[in-house]
Amino acid sequence: MRIAILGAGYGGMAAAFDLVRARHQVTIFEAAGHVGGLAAGFKEPHWDWSVENYYHHWFASDKHMLGLIDELGLSEKVLFPRPYTVLLHKDKWYPFDSILNAILFPGLGWGLNKARFGLVGLYLRLTNNWKVLEKYTVDEWMGRWAGKTVYEKMWQPLVIGKFGPYANQVNMAWLWARLKARTTRLGTFEGGFQAFADAFGEKLRTLGVEIKLNTPIQAIQPQVDHTLKIQTDETGQNDETKFDQCLVTSSPRQFADLAPDLPKDYLKGLLELKSMGAVVMTLALKHKLSEAGHYWHNLPKNAGYPFLALVEHTNYVSPEHFGGDHIVYCGDYLESDHEYFELSEAELLERFIPALKRFNPKFERGWIRKTWLHRTKYGQPVPLVNHSQNIPSIQTPINGLYFASMSQVYPWDRGTNYAVEIGREAARLMGKDYPK
C-alpha cells in the first residue's frame, strides 16, 4: 500500500517503522522542520546535547519505548541518572521520590493520615481494575478512602495544577495510572531526546520511508476509488497526492479540521474531547539555581508561584553537556485561552523572575544568559468520568483513515511510551485491513 502518516512524532514514526518493514510504501508529512513532535528539542552551538522544548524523561517501566529503542540497536545510549524530586511544605523542600521519603514527609504528620496514605497508595499500585475507578472523580474517591487531609495535602494540588477548571471532574483512573506505571527512576538519551528522534528518523529513511518536513497538510479527502487525497501546500501551490491509507497523529480538533467528511457522530466525539495546553519557558543560567541539587520541584497552585513546576535539568544531567549553562524549565498546564498564550516572552519572564529568587535568594537577573518559550494548546488530555466511552476508535468510519493521538492512550497518561504503543497498534490495524 501507499501510506501517508501525518506527524513525525514518536507515534507516527513508530507506525512507519512497522509499516515499512511490512513492505508498504510510507510517506511522513511533518509541518515542523524536524522530527520528534512534542518531544523535540533545540540546541545552542556550544552545547553537545539538545534540550527538550517540553521537559521529557522515560520511566524504567516504559516497555514500549525502551523496547523500540532496543529494536533500533540504541539501548546503550539510554541513561538513568539519579534525580531528586522535592515537595513544598511550610516553605521548605522535602524529598519525595521514594516510599521511604513519602513516609517521612512531615506534611501528613503521623498516625492515621500516614497509614491511610500508605494503604491507599498500596491498593492503587496493586489493583488492575481501573474501569471501576473511572466511574468516580478523583475528589470523590480520594476524599472517601484517603480522607480529606491526605487528599488535600498530597493529591489535590497535583490535580488542580494539571487540570485547572476541570480538576473536580477528572476521573480516578487517571490518578491510578500515574501511580501504577511510573517509577522513581527517570531515563534520558545520550545527546537529548532530539538526538534519539534524529537517529530514529535516519533509520526510517534507510528503510525507505520518505519524511517530508516543513509540509503542513491542508485537507484529507476520501475519493470514490476508496483512496485518500492528501492536500499539501509545500511549494506555495496546492499539491494533491493519493494514498491507500492515512494515519493522522495530530490533536483531535486539528484532525476534525483536516477531515470534515468524517461522519457527524465521529466529528462530534473529537470536538467534545477536552485538553489543557502547556507553556514552558526554558532558561540558560550562569549559576546553579537549586544549591541543594534538586531536580523536580512540585509547586502547589496555592503557594503563589506563577508556574506549576520548576525543573532544573542540569541537576539531572551534567551542565558540561550544555557548555556550562545551567538549564531550568518553568512549566505549567493551562486552559487554551489563558493569558500566558498571549504574553510575549519578555512579559512572561517578568512574571517568572520574582519566583526564581524564592528558590535561591542569591539569584539575580544577570544570571540569565538566554531564554526560550514554547507553547502548545494541546498538551494534556482531560479524562472525565467514564472517559473510556468517549475515546474515538483508531480506525475511523472513513475507509483507510486512522487516528492515533495522546487522547486515546487512556487510561494511561500522555507520554512517548504510549505514543509508541498506540502508533504500533495503529500500524497493526492498518496492516490487518490491507486487502490480501
Is residue 231's pLDDT more than 70? Answer: yes
- Residue where the block lists cell 495535602: 153
CATH superfamily of the 275-382 domain = Protoporphyrinogen oxidase, mitochondrial; domain 2 (3.90.660.20)
Q: What is the pLDDT of residue 238?
A: 61
Choose the weakest-confidence range: 28-32, 294-298, 371-375, 415-419. Answer: 294-298
Mean pLDDT over residues 235-250, rounded? 82
Judged against a pLDDT cut of 90, whether residue 155 lies above it is answered with no
Is the per-residue pLDDT at 246 higher than 60? Answer: yes
Q: Give 113's pLDDT tier (boundaries 50, 70, 90).
A: confident
Q: Distance between CA 216 and CA 421 in Å, rounded?
A: 24
Question: Kindly report the CA angle at 273 between 269 and 277, in degrees rounded to 5?
Answer: 150
State what percent of residues in the chain have pLDDT above 70. Answer: 98
Contacts (Cβ under 8 Å, ≥6 apart) of 126: none
Q: Encode 403-432: b = buried (16+ Cβ within 10 Å), e = exposed.
A: bbbbbbbbbbbbbbbbbbbbbbbbbebbee
pLDDT in tens, 36-73: 999 999 999 999 999 999 999 999 999 999 999 999 99
Superfamily of the domain at 2-76+190-273+386-432: FAD/NAD(P)-binding domain (3.50.50.60)
Average pLDDT over the chain reads: 93
Over 90: is that where the pLDDT of 434 sits? no
Q: Could you report the per-residue pLDDT of 347-405, keeping only the tens digit for each?
A: 999 999 999 999 999 999 999 999 999 999 999 999 999 999 999 999 999 999 999 99
Give yes or no for a contact between 21 and 13, defined as CB atoms under 8 angstroms apart: no
Cell numbers describing residue 381: 488530555
pTM (2 decimals)?
0.94
Q: What is the pLDDT of residues 139-153, one digit of tens each?
A: 999 999 998 888 988
The domain segmentation of the chain, as residue ranges, is 2-76+190-273+386-432, 99-180, 275-382
Check residue 234 and give its pLDDT: 58
d(CA 311, CA 198): 24
